[in-house]
Amino acid sequence: MAGVRFGIVVFPGSNCDRDVAWVTRGLLGCPTRLIWHRETDLSGLDVVVLPGGFSYGDYLRCGAIARFAPVMGSLKEHAARGGYVLGICNGFQILTEAGLLPGALVRNANLHFICDRVGIRVERQDLPWTSAYPQGSTLTLPIAHGEGRYTCDPDTLKQLQDRGQIVFRYAPVAPNGSVDNIAGICDPSGRILGLMPHPERAADPDLPGQDGIPFWQSILRSFAA
């Protein structure tokens, strides 16, 4: 199971890349490669992670500059080949800016940066990212963002609902004002996932909560199957 090969893209301003690597390499024992944003070689990787942080200082908009990084063309090719892509927090913002996921992440409703542990409900347990969670799970995961309010037009929201692309919702309500309490969505294939909560910050057994570790175990389970 430890044979899943992870790549973690590092942008100027990324600050959760080592957190993810600590989980994938340190806790799960999986081969893990840090990929500088100017690199274009993603060969041999199963899962490519866009981590949290402030890529390019979040100038213009969160993720707006990162979408043009050289690595992003290779990331789109990786996804087109059937590879898995995970965007956490700033990574979720980058995925929407790059058009790999619909909608946008905008300023929190109260205009404040929110750093807290919040309730997250798992809406789908049949995905490679969630299969290790019991049906109907409500988790406690950290969030840390100033522009995490998910928004989209009514037609897009209906498509997300009808196609089962809403993977995580805030429970009971979104602290940032996200439409339909959305905390994470996937593409129609389920292989590309973006979420605002940080499962990598709730995985280490030395931390107060470990609700994030089944998230990473789900990926191993999926590839083992």
Q: Is residue 149 part of a domain?
A: yes
Confidence tier at 208 by pLDDT (50, 70, 90) = confident
pLDDT band at 1 (very low <50, low <70, confident <90, very high): very low
58-85 pLDDT, tens per residue? 888 899 999 999 999 999 999 999 999 9
Any idea what the Cα angle at residue 55 is, between residues 181 and 164, rounded to 5°?
30
Determine whether 89 is an active site residue: yes
Consecutive H or E run containing 163: none
pLDDT number for residue 182: 98
Q: What percent of the chain has pLDDT over 90?
A: 94
Give the total number of structural domains in the chain. 1
Catalytic residue selected from 89, 97, 123, 145: 89
From the number of C-beta atoms within 10 Å of its C-beta (0-12, 13-18, 19+), residue 224 rates as exposed
Closest by alpha carbon to 117, among 189, 50, 177, 175? 175
On whether residue 1 sits in a domain, the answer given is no
pLDDT in tens, 4-40: 999 999 999 999 999 999 999 999 999 999 999 999 9
Distance CA 169, CA 157 (A): 13
What range defines the domain where residue 109 resides?
A: 6-224
- Of the residues 37, 78, 145, 198, only one is catalytic, namely 198
Domain of residue 133, CATH code: 3.40.50.880
The one catalytic residue in 97, 123, 147, 200 is 200
pLDDT at residue 2, rounded to an integer: 56
Beta pairing, strands 192-195 & 114-122: unpaired
Is residue 200 among the annotated active site residues?
yes
